[in-house]
Structure 1
Amino acid sequence: MHSAPMATFADVQSQEPEFAARVRAAFDARRHKYLATLRRDGSPRISGIEMDFVEGEPWLAGMPGSVKFTDLRRDPRFMLHSGSPEPDAFESDAKLGGRAVPVTDPGERADFARAAGVAAGHMGFELFRVELDQVVLVALDEARTALVVTSWRPETGLTRTART
């Protein structure tokens, strides 16, 4: 089985800094995001999640025992959506897709906690590192007459499609 190449957000940023900044702004605009995972039977599950970029990378962290994390341990594929404002205020939204890798190494978890500002003694959370195979930005053009879908993949780089 051939697996697609994976990337970090730093890879996106180094290759397409303006695109990465717009994606990051879409994610930073709202606290709550939407995480799509796969259930045991293969059907999709959508869960709310608070995701932050820590040292420039997106991480998935949260309460132990959450079904979304059970899903990710069983099948690491995910899509994360930034959420969207109401149509009158819409300018853009973003999606990240790829694999979520559980982080169990105490040193790596401590490094994350320190960088994220997690207080010592509050390490009782699940943590997943994100490996990306797709980053998407959906935005209005300057005239606000068309949607522009910009997608980045490690193997193809940036592509754009306008939809009127």
Structure 2
Amino acid sequence: MAVFADVETEEPAFAARVRASFDAHRHTFLATLRADGSPRISGIEMHFVLGEPWLAGMPGSVKFTDLRRDPRFALHSGSSEPDAFDADAKLSGRAIPVTDAAERTRYATAAGIPSGHMGFELFRVELDQVVLVALNEEKTALVVSSWRPGRGLTRTTRT
């Protein structure tokens, strides 16, 4: 597993485009697995804090119940309408619950969460794949770029 800093170190331009895709949309889409193994899709506001993607939100949310039971997830940045489409991004890996008070405080301070407002669920993200889907310069084909730890970046063009 990797962290986003690994992507930034190995492929800084790719990482910047992935982050820009997530920053372009306030609401993102989180896929988790229900207890019976079927998929669940949930909205979530994911933010990069301290340079990393984190999953945070209201306690008792079924998406967090799913992640505590099975940490595998996929996160989609959302997409612009076709006329304005530039790129969208996906992260997948494992979400690890953060219960350590010092780490939660460090996150909250960096995220601008006022002290005394620590009643949120928090998960650190470990990545096994980062994907960017974008148009080529001519806007005639999709370019799918995929980064995996130990494998690096690959690109596929689809017309």
Q: TM-score, normalised by structure 1?
A: 0.96
The one-letter amino acid paired with 1:47 is S
SS of the equivalent of 1:19 reads: helix
Residue 90 of structure 1, aligned match among 54, 76, 85: 85
- Whole-Å separation in 1 of the counterparts to 2:64 and 2:53: 16
Name stretches of at least 5 consecutive residues in structure 1 with no aligned partner.
1-5
Counterpart of 1:71 (choices 66, 79, 84) is 66
Corresponding residue SS for 1:30 = coil
Q: Following TM superposition, where does structure 1 have runs of at least 4 consecutive aligned residues deviating by more than 4 angstroms?
A: none
Provide the C-alpha distance between the structure 1 equivalents of 2:68 and 2:89, rounded to a whole number of angstroms.
24
Structure 1 position 77, deviation (Å): 0.2
1:155 and 2:150 correspond: yes
Show the counterpart of 1:7.
Answer: 2
Alignment of 1:113-152 (within 5 A): 113-152=108-147
Q: Which residue of 2 aligns with 1:21?
A: 16
Distance in 2, Cα, partners of 1:38 & 1:53: 23
Aligned match of 1:45: 40
Q: TM-score if structure 2 supplies the norm length? A: 0.99
RMSD value, Cα: 0.4
Deviations 1:41-98 (A, max 9, x none): 0000000000000011000000000000000000000000000011111110000000
Shift of 1:155: 2.0
Aligned partner (choices 8, 25, 30) of residue 25 of structure 2: 30
Cα distance in 1 for partners of 2:92, 2:136 equals 23
* Correspondence for 1:101 among 96, 100, 106: 96
Q: 2: CA distance between counterparts of 1:55 and 1:100?
A: 16
Q: Which runs of 5+ in 2 are unaligned?
A: none
1:117 CA displacement: 0.5
% identical equivalent positions: 79
Equivalent-residue separation in structure 2 for 1:62 and 1:8 (angstroms):
20
Separation (CA, whole Å) in 2 of partners of 1:140 and 1:71: 34
